[in-house]
Amino acid sequence: MKQQEPKWKKKKISYPIFFLLFLLFIAFFYFLYDQMVKSTAAICYTNPPQTTTADISPKTSTQSETASKEGAYQMDLLIVKDYKTSLFVLPLKNEEYQTPLLVTVPDSFAKQSVVKEGKTATISWNGNALETYPAKISAMTIGRKKTSTSPLFLYEKALEELIDTDQGLNTSITQAVFCLDGITNLTVMEKEALVYLGSDILDVPVRQGTFKQLEEENLIQNGTFTNGLYIEMTGENLNPSGTKVTFSMTKYRS
């Protein structure tokens, strides 16, 4: 008996049909890939990333100067002491600051002749101050105006000479008190400045007070200011312009 072959072996697929099916498969795959790329492209460019443009071209000196002055305040002041890293100054006709200040200035300005003790100047600053005593501010620009006629510098020089005289009275002191009530040609702020300068010279705390106040505080007992130095000053102008001044100074320990 002859064995019958399986039916599936009788069905033959011709090579042209197989090749056509292969091409259809490739075409379908390409179609899907093309749609995927277009969809991705649409997603990427519907909301393109935002960019920030910055001008990095160098500014001219005029542009830089204008920018530095934006939002700045101006103040006229008297330069009392140059501490190299800062200036001890007195504000002139300033309603907000009526006490001495310490002002830091850019190195480029500090090395110029504009920064000189006894000169008045105009500064620009940002309006911020460090609340210390004296208060500290940073100047952005500074310009010289004129030489001051304040007698403060005369008193400062005389004070230095007085302290250098009979230096034994300065030995081992821990404080000093200045009586400035007899000075009529210095403003309240100039007297504050003189006290500050005196503290620098003596290297001890200095405040204002009278001999009687020191006795009441028991700092002076039996006529002796044990750990301190008492300096009394008087002074006045001899003419309305203030070009002639008379003054006296004495220092006391016991």
Q: Contact 231/198 with Cβ under 8 angstroms?
A: yes
**pLDDT score recorded for residue 19:** 63
Residue type, 65: E
**Quick one: average pLDDT of 217-239?**
92
CA–centroid distance for 155 within its chain: 30
- Predicted confidence (pLDDT) per residue in 146-167, tens digit: 888 889 999 999 999 999 998 8
**pLDDT score recorded for residue 20:** 66
**pLDDT score recorded for residue 33:** 55
- Exposed/middle/buried for 77, CB within 10 Å: 0-12, 13-18, 19+? buried
**Top-confidence residue, 246 or 65:** 246
**Quick one: average pLDDT of 91-120?**
78
- Predicted confidence (pLDDT) per residue in 41-64, tens digit: 332 322 333 222 222 233 333 332
Pick the CATH number of 68-147 from 1.20.1630.10, 3.40.50.11810, 2.40.50.320, 3.40.605.10: 2.40.50.320
In this structure, the number of other CB atoms found within 10 A of the CB of residue 172 comes to: 7
Q: Residue 21 pLDDT > 90, yes or no?
A: no
**pLDDT score recorded for residue 241:** 74
State the pLDDT confidence band at 110, using cuts at 50, 70 and 90: low
**pLDDT score recorded for residue 140:** 86
**Quick one: average pLDDT of 11-27?**
62
Q: What percent of the chain has pLDDT over 70?
A: 69
pTM: 0.67
Mean pLDDT, the chain, integer: 77
Say which residues have a Cβ less than 8 Å from residue 195's Cβ, sequence separation at least 6.
178, 180, 206, 207, 208
**pLDDT score recorded for residue 209:** 96
